[in-house]
Structure 1
């Protein structure tokens, strides 16, 4: 039973994800987290303001269970199964992060500089969070789905737009980490 409390290796979790994707494809469903936002907005009445939200939310209600499961699973993983989780970061990366002001790099799973409640009172952190959220929201809508939808579901369906989107996600991530991140911090 001790194996439950350790991170599962790729050769266990990977085939489980593949099995879920096979079952979703088999029953004709598509997976993606950003589509849940559209469903939730429709539930809150956004369909009365915009045709984009004029959907039959019950057709997508099953996907809301995924969100609930992700929240519950994340809580269980972090609070009951996580233990003393510390990200295993390359020492060179730790040194660079410390140069950028992340004093807790390599000592905590989530750096206080980004995830402490004080970050919500710091104007620089708020601007980063808000602009990042807007860019992610715009990008997910413009790309026709989020990273999970394209990388897991789209690639499983062998969709060329998803391959292009995933390549774009990686290029954007590399650009952020190597160009913008040092500039911001």
Structure 2
């Protein structure tokens, strides 16, 4: 018998995130995925070639738990918290996704047209990953952090630059899905 648990409701998970953020702020720590990736690059010796990675990574190694948690949490969410029911989408959303070339809409959270081995090994899929990865990396560095760092840590500590960055993330997402994505697909 497969044990499938329901995801935590917002009124449980939201306060849990708030408690973690309070503890991080209390102890003078910050949260963000890009800072973890920077620490991994510094651990690997990237600081010998690039000044950005030349810092004492040992004082940040506690933060690597976030990366481990992302992998473990993803595994748990996929294998134990996934509910194999169809996703209830509006007819307008289904029509829009059909016009963009998506099939099996509402059957999976990750569409095969984007998240499959066939998509990855296609020229178009590979170029999207490489160019998108470069743009995300550049944007993260330019914005001084990633979406999780700005939206969770920055906003919870009332930082104006994080507020501006989060607004930019949303505007960029809207531009991507409404203007750029239809051209690509």
- Class of the TM-score when normalised by the shorter of the 2 chains: over 0.9
User: Using the alignment, how far apart are the partners of 1:169 and 1:109 within structure 2?
Assistant: 21
User: Using the alignment, how far apart are the partners of 1:86 and 1:143 within structure 2?
Assistant: 37
Map of 1:147 onto structure 2? 147
Give the TM-score of the pair, scaled to structure 1: 0.94
Confirm or deny that 1:68 pairs with 2:68. Answer: yes
Give SS of 1:105's match. coil
Mapped contact 1:33–1:148 kept (Cα < 8 A): yes
Equivalent residues, number: 182
Map of 1:48 onto structure 2? 48
Give the TM-score of the pair, scaled to structure 2: 0.94
User: Using the alignment, how far apart are the partners of 1:179 and 1:20 within structure 2?
Assistant: 37
User: Using the alignment, how far apart are the partners of 2:85 and 2:49 within structure 1?
Assistant: 44
> C-alpha deviations, 1:72-111, integer Å up to 9, x for none?
0110110122131544332211121112211121122211
Q: How does 1:94-133 map to 2 (within 5 A)?
A: 94-133=94-133
70 and 85 in structure 1: CA distance in 2 versus 1, 3 angstrom threshold: farther
Structure 1 unaligned runs (5+)?
none
Give SS of 2:83's match. coil
